[in-house]
Structure 1
Amino acid sequence: MQRAALLDAARSLLSEGGTEALTFPALAQRTGLARSSVYEYFRSRAAVVEELCAVDFPVWAAEIEAAMQAAGTPEAKIEAYVRQQLALVGDRRHRAVVAISASELDAGAREKIRAAHGGLVAMVVEALAALGHAGPRLTATLLQGIVDAAVRRIELGAAEDPAEITEAAVALALHGTRR
């Protein structure tokens, strides 16, 4: 229960203040634990981040996969892939993953995050192949680049409304640069 409380506090801190806000004193204060107790659960900030990814990313991926499975056509699956990822931008779990992506992770943690993102890309390969893409894996990787750019735009609080960014990303994903 304490570990779960620490992870929940870490999500809140990352969501509210980014990586700078995730400190062991702040975790201790949020959970009512002594600072030394936090070290009993995690050896470093990177370890907290690693566990957040291990716990939250599969849930996030399952939500994207469920949205895709509910879609009927390959085009609808691609649209669901883009829309669901962008819908998750406001979710604390997602905000934590975005906030930590630039933090001081060791090579092992970075590789785990890369592998998890690779799992997201793999979800859409079949739909792209069904549409006749000669290189569906490459296309899926580029599609994820569109999603990542839209996520960054939303997270930065761009001038456009998040719904407008989502619609532009979906249009680009489905129709390329044609108007």
Structure 2
Amino acid sequence: MPKIRAATVAEHRQLQRAALLDAARVLLAEGGREALSFGALAARTGLARSSVYEYFRSKSALVEALCTVDLPLWAAEVEAGMTARDSAVERIEAYVRGQLSLATDPVHRAVVAVAEYELDDAARARIRAAHAGLTAMVVRTLEDLGHDRPGVAAALLQGVVEAAVRQTERVRGEDGTPGARPEAVEEIADTAVRFALDGLRPATGTAADPATGTAGGAGGPGAH
């Protein structure tokens, strides 16, 4: 019988499960999707491969568990950044920058990538439900900015973020290093924020008014 490393069997299983998830994060960050296997998990944790299956019946189940634990924590980071801002415009900026900051984290990047490959539509729907609070916060913020269709605007805003994440990935690939160059990522973030707040207006135009979320000056009204 395996040695119990906690006061109870239930606590022991919780510790072992957490250790397997930690090992999965390391494997994904170091080697990507191909590095994640039950054999590698067993080697990392000192468990027999058959024992790994006692905790996760398949790689998909393991990946869903990772997403269920990690994605709400990452969403909470973004939400905390938004909550700390005073105006609606600042909260939108925090939303964009918070997600782009996460996109440069190797663990976050690897977990999201493997989830796209391993999870079915039902699993993705369960994970999206965990983000309902953050989505609602974005919708409320867009209502504060005066959008009459905040749900549509939120979807479009997320499209801007996802496009910026892809640009960050291209920078990382061109640079050939484990992480994108900080100055390049910051430039992408700045451009995404301007696009989100002011549409296609040139960067030299007047910034959006933090009080109203509208733009003034010679550049004309912002696209909201």
- Contact kept, 8 Å, 1:15 with 1:99, in 2: the verdict is no
In structure 2, distance between residues paired with 1:174 and 1:93: 29
In structure 2, distance between residues paired with 1:122 and 1:15: 31
In structure 1, distance between residues paired with 2:189 and 2:68: 27
Change (3 A) 1:41 1:110: same
Q: Which has the higher contact order (CA 8 A, sep 6+)?
A: 1
The equivalent residue for 2:186 is 163
The yes-or-no answer on 1:37 pairing with 2:37 is no
Amino acid at match of 2:190: E
Which TM-score applies when normalising by structure 1? 0.91
In structure 1, distance between residues paired with 2:29 and 2:20: 14
Please identify the structure whose Cα radius of gyration is greater: 2
The equivalent residue for 1:114 is 128
In structure 1, distance between residues paired with 2:110 and 2:63: 9
Change (3 A) 1:78 1:158: farther
The equivalent residue for 2:206 is none
- Contact kept, 8 Å, 2:28 with 2:107, in 1: the verdict is no
Larger helix proportion, structure 1 or 2? 1
Which TM-score applies when normalising by structure 2? 0.74
Q: How far 1:95 sits from its partner (Å)? A: 1.8
Change (3 A) 1:93 1:118: farther
- For structure 1, which runs of at least 5 residues remain unmatched after alignment? none
Q: How far 1:18 sits from its partner (Å)? A: 2.2
In structure 2, distance between residues paired with 1:174 and 1:16: 36
The equivalent residue for 1:58 is 72
When structure 1 is superposed on structure 2, of 87-96 and 21-30 the one drifting more is 87-96
The yes-or-no answer on 1:69 pairing with 2:67 is no
The yes-or-no answer on 1:177 pairing with 2:200 is yes
Structure 1 stretches of at least 4 aligned residues deviating more than 4 Å after TM superposition:
none
Paired positions, count: 179
Q: How far 1:5 sits from its partner (Å)? A: 1.0
- Contact kept, 8 Å, 1:14 with 1:99, in 2: the verdict is no
Change (3 A) 1:15 1:99: farther
Q: How far 1:93 sits from its partner (Å)? A: 4.2
- Contact kept, 8 Å, 2:142 with 2:150, in 1: the verdict is yes
* CA-atom RMSD in angstroms: 1.8
- Contact kept, 8 Å, 1:86 with 1:166, in 2: the verdict is yes
Q: How far 1:147 sits from its partner (Å)? A: 0.9
- Contact kept, 8 Å, 2:63 with 2:118, in 1: the verdict is no
Q: Percent identity?
A: 61
Q: Secondary structure at the match of 1:102?
A: helix
When structure 1 is superposed on structure 2, of 118-127 and 152-161 the one drifting more is 152-161
Change (3 A) 1:74 1:98: same
